[in-house]
Amino acid sequence: MVNIEIDGKIYSVPEGDNLLQACLSLGLDLPYFCWHPAMGSVGACRQCALIQYEDNPNPEAGDSHEQRGRIVMGCMTPVSEGMRISINDHRAEGFRGQVIEYLMTNHPHDCPVCEEGGECHLQDMTLMSSHTERRYQGKKRTHQNQYLGPFINHEMNRCIACYRCQRYYQDYAGGHDLQAMAAHNHVYFGRHEDGVLESEFSGNLVEVCPTGVFTDKTLSEHYSRKWDLQAAPSICVHCAVGCNTSPGERYGDLRRIVNRYHGQVNGYFLCDRGRFGYEFVNRSDRISLALQLQSSEQNKRLEIELTRSETRDQLAQFIAADKRLLGIGSPRATLESNFALRELVGATNYYTGMSAQEAELHQLALDILQQASVRIPTLKEVEQADVVLVLGEDVLNTSPRLALSLRQTAGNIGKKIAEKLRVPLWQDAAIREARQDKNTPIYLATLTSTGIDDVAAETFNGTPAAIARLGAAIAHAIDSSAPEIEGLSEHGMAMVQRIADTLNTAKNPLIISGTGCFSSAVLQAAANVAQALAGRVNEDTEQETDNGQINRTDFYLCLPESNSMGVTLLHSEAEQGGSIGAALQRVAAGEIDTVVVLENDLYRRGPSNEIEAIFNSAAKVVVLDHHLHESVAQADLVLPAGVFSEVEGTLVSSEGRAQRHFAVHIPKHDIRASWEWLSDMIALRKGSETPEWQHVDEVTEDCEKSVPALQGIVKAAPGEAFRISGQKINRQPHRYSGRTAMQADVSVSEVKQPEDADSALGFTMEGYAVAKPGVRPSALTPLYWSPGWNSNQSVGKFQQEINGPLQGGDPGVRLIVAAGVQRNEWYEVAGAEQQEQASADSKNGKWLLLPQHCIFASEELSALSPAVVERSPVHCVLLHPDDAAGLTVDDGDGVIIDCADRSIHLEVKIDQSSPSGSIGVPVGLAQTAGLVYLQRVQVKKDPDWQRRAEADVIVTDLSTANPGGRS
């Protein structure tokens, strides 16, 4: 720390910061544009000017603080001991006022119609710089706007040329199709021509741009002023990374999702699936009332809407005390709902709702993490690694935000260079200049090429067996006691040695793997590498090596769904397997009368014949869910379940972090949290009039008490009883407007706002002042706002220091504690050999079925959102050129894949990186839902492909199978 004087007061600030960061960390107001907390400084906009006084004023010569100083840019000036500066000096203020007046000469001043208005950093900085009067009377330059796809609007006239968008898109996110073009007053930020932005992280432009150039197109479709949106702290439900979000609601519809800063997880950025995948919530075909389904005489399913008491009567029959129940849970439902189901049916009758393949992989992943002597890194820690090995996981498509972090890991090498050159770490342009095209070594071993190959030191594409063998061989090369892998080619051995050597010299190596390629052998191989690396030092994960460096091995396993880890932990001590197959055996054996399915389309989990067997064998089926799918159609009774924005609940991310999301708004019609339905059902079964639980807190507490592996979940966020100065925390900003008018159809007097019995948040704008950061727990902060800071940049006021943890600590509780003891046993990676055999068989006329994940199509809920559907690619199978030639197919032709339970017709894409003898089939489409990957299948050319394509008889995704849209 160093001491500096700011406007006559002494402050202690971190050494190495620049003045802008230091001032903002202290809570002082200093305007800026081009600096971004995650991207550092380039000194381009000149808005952060302040006065730095001379070090040694000479009062005898008439010098004083006020007289001798110079204008410096806060973002470009490092702090130093004894430095004296002024933000408020009239010369600094005057300079800043002139800069913004200049920046604004071409700005259209269209705030009343600008979608950024009210949440605009430019508005804030204009006022902060006291530029309140427009003097420029000349003509303004104008630009043409571009079509940039379904996610982003473009209004270039609002640009102030801060270059943040280009720096974010190209330098931070690795995009290639958005540039700065032309010069001077005509500089233009966009694509070379109209077209969809290619980056999977394009949505962050909306938050990075300080003006209204890039805005959220999905919000435009049902626009509401930002201050009229009701918000609550939430967690993204579209993968297992666990990014923190803030959804905004008006009139019962979700209008947008924005990033909610988390110092260890998502930082300032989301992926586009997470940001734009929310519109499934607003679909007009949501299940909003309980439905009784009956077969008609014509063998059609009839839906009868039920009142609450009729529903109760039905349930009373289906789950009466003498009925034998079985519950199938879900990795996309909250812990509370899964636990409530387990309580209803009994622990021995609860199944996690995963396929056998998924269940085995998840349990293995958990075992590995619990036994490992390594650290499970947060995304922030991922960005600090100095060598990375990814085994088998296409992270960009399975855990997208992790891929953005890996891009920053690649740039990490710049920090080392900067340290040598004594350049501060925030000097973005200088570090990039010094770094040139050097990257931190990242090795990617994946099924096919991936979207982050451009930052890889080396890539390897092969079958899961080949990847597992590569990984196991690397482990052996690092630690000779790990099992040896025989039969690798000379080229392969050389690669193994290169990777092992680089990992061996790393201070903080990181191994990433996951369930994405459906291979236990790959997971085991990754565990061996992590174990070998951890074994370089003693028993702890953080030890000094001979050369005095700290060694720490990080190990991150990607899981697929928002609560995959949660249900795996919930079930980890159960005696019976958790898979749907295990459940089926019970049902088929006639042991069960009623099956209760929680928020799970079982047809996405396994072959349709097996799933049908469950539904046909059970006397009654009750399904709780929020949208229509095939399993809903099989139910006798359907109960309308709330989605993440309607209910409170706890999810556990891949990192093992339990985090809570809160209801943003009151659900419509008869929609309730699944745990609430289940609470009533438990009471009914017991013959009690009182629900098992009144509040979600009680469920969370009971869950923690009964499941040792979930110790700590209660602390993920404060409970309902939490108050500040006796008040709840408001979901509505204090500027929220129109509350009386909104409900004028109900009453011309303002209707009483609904109560929230479940959380410490209120559906009001009254409550604990949003304007006082630091007192509210971070897990209960719906949005960031501070006086004078209406944009997302106000988050700085809520951080302990810029880019640091939120005040009071970042939300969530980490549940998985590694054993911390070096294992002596190694995985044999036996499955790899068997799969290799399978792969060899494929050369005799059968192809190995490999998964192909897609960020915009593979995940169930986001794939029901119109903008994401529009962004989804044409779905093709991937074939190696040799295999395509063997089948006499070319790009654009069709193939028929004969699996045990179905025939799949898909277009061909020839892909050089695709392993020979395999066929890459998209995950999660209507046609491919529930496919068992890594099986061998027959593939043949589809002679009728062109006719089929023209007749459009092929349903390629769930959204077209299940139409709906914005309500």
How much of the chain is helix, strand and coil, in % rounded to 5?
Answer: 35, 20, 45
DSSP result, 258-325:
EE--BTTTTBT---HHHHHGGGGGGBTT---SEEEEEE-TTSPEEEEEE-HHHHHHHHHHHT-TTS-E
Residue 239 near ligand SF4 by CB under 6 A: yes
Residue 455 near ligand SF4 by CB under 6 A: no
Q: Which CB, 75 or 592, lies closer to ligand FES?
A: 75
N-term to C-term CA, the chain: 55
Instruction: Build a one-symbol-per-residue string for 47-86: x at contacts with ligand FES by CB under 6 A, - elsewhere.
Output: xx------------------------xxx-----------
Interface pick for ligand SF4 out of 150, 274, 353, 812 (rule CB under 6 A): 274
Interface pick for ligand SF4 out of 159, 354, 376, 889 (rule CB under 6 A): 159
Residue 162 near ligand SF4 by CB under 6 A: yes
| Residue bearing tokens 């392993």 | 915
User: Do residues 599 and 574 touch, judged by C-beta distance below 8 A?
Assistant: no
Whole-number Å distance between alpha carbons of 335 and 357: 22
The torsion angles phi and psi of 316, rounded to 5 degrees, stand at: -55, -35
- As a whole number of angstroms, the longest Cα–Cα distance in the chain is 106
Q: How near is the Cβ of 110 to ligand SF4 at its closest, in Å?
A: 14
Give the tokens for residue 669: 């019609």
Q: How near is the Cβ of 177 to ligand FES at its closest, in Å?
A: 25
User: Do residues 553 and 511 touch, judged by C-beta distance below 8 A?
Assistant: yes
The entry of ligand FES, ligand SF4, none that residue 368 binds, CB within 5 to 8 Å by partner kind: none
Q: How near is the Cβ of 346 to ligand SF4 at its closest, in Å?
A: 33
Interface pick for ligand SF4 out of 152, 165, 802, 815 (rule CB under 6 A): 165
Q: Radius of gyration over alpha carbons of the chain, in Å?
A: 29
Query: If residue 214 lies in a helix (H) or strand (E), which one and from where to where?
Result: strand 214-216
Q: How near is the Cβ of 174 to ligand SF4 at its closest, in Å?
A: 16
Window contacting ligand FES (CB under 6 A); options: 39-47, 90-98, 239-247, 755-763: 39-47
Window contacting ligand FES (CB under 6 A); options: 30-38, 82-90, 245-253, 685-693: 30-38
> What are the distances in angstroms from CA 737 to CA 60, 139, 250, 395, 449?
59, 36, 11, 42, 50
3-class secondary structure for 92-148?
Answer: HHHHHHHHHHHHCCCCCCCHHHCCCCCCCHHHHHHHHCCCCCCCCCCCCCCCCCCCC
Q: Which CB, 153 or 266, lies closer to ligand SF4?
A: 266
Q: Which CB, 255 or 853, lies closer to ligand SF4?
A: 853
Residue 243 near ligand SF4 by CB under 6 A: yes
User: Do residues 841 and 912 touch, judged by C-beta distance below 8 A?
Assistant: no
Residue 271 near ligand SF4 by CB under 6 A: yes
Q: How near is the Cβ of 645 to ligand SF4 at its closest, in Å?
A: 14
Residue 273 near ligand SF4 by CB under 6 A: yes
Q: Which CB, 46 or 469, lies closer to ligand FES?
A: 46
Window contacting ligand SF4 (CB under 6 A); options: 6-14, 271-279, 321-329, 506-514: 271-279
Using left for φ > 0, alpha for ψ between -120 and 50, and beta otherwise, residue 456 falls in beta
Whole-number Å distance between alpha carbons of 909 and 356: 30
DSSP result, 868-923:
HHHHPPPPEEEE-HHHHHHHT--TT-EEEEE-SS-EEEEEEEE-TTSPTTEEEEES
Q: How many CB atoms lie within 10 A of CB 422?
A: 6
Window contacting ligand SF4 (CB under 6 A); options: 63-71, 207-215, 355-363, 670-678: 207-215
Interface pick for ligand SF4 out of 401, 407, 627, 731 (rule CB under 6 A): 401
Query: If residue 421 lies in a helix (H) or strand (E), which one and from where to where?
Result: helix 413-421
Window contacting ligand SF4 (CB under 6 A); options: 157-165, 545-553, 599-607, 609-617: 157-165
Residue 33 near ligand FES by CB under 6 A: yes
The entry of ligand SF4, ligand FES, none that residue 48 binds, CB within 5 to 8 Å by partner kind: ligand FES
Q: How near is the Cβ of 930 to ligand SF4 at its closest, in Å?
A: 22
Total residues contacting ligand FES by CB under 6 A comes to: 14
Window contacting ligand SF4 (CB under 6 A); options: 156-164, 284-292, 364-372, 791-799: 156-164
- Binding positions for ligand FES, rule: CB under 6 A: 20, 32-35, 43-48, 73-75
- Binding positions for ligand SF4, rule: CB under 6 A: 159-165, 189, 209-211, 213, 236, 238-239, 241-243, 266, 270-271, 273-274, 399-401
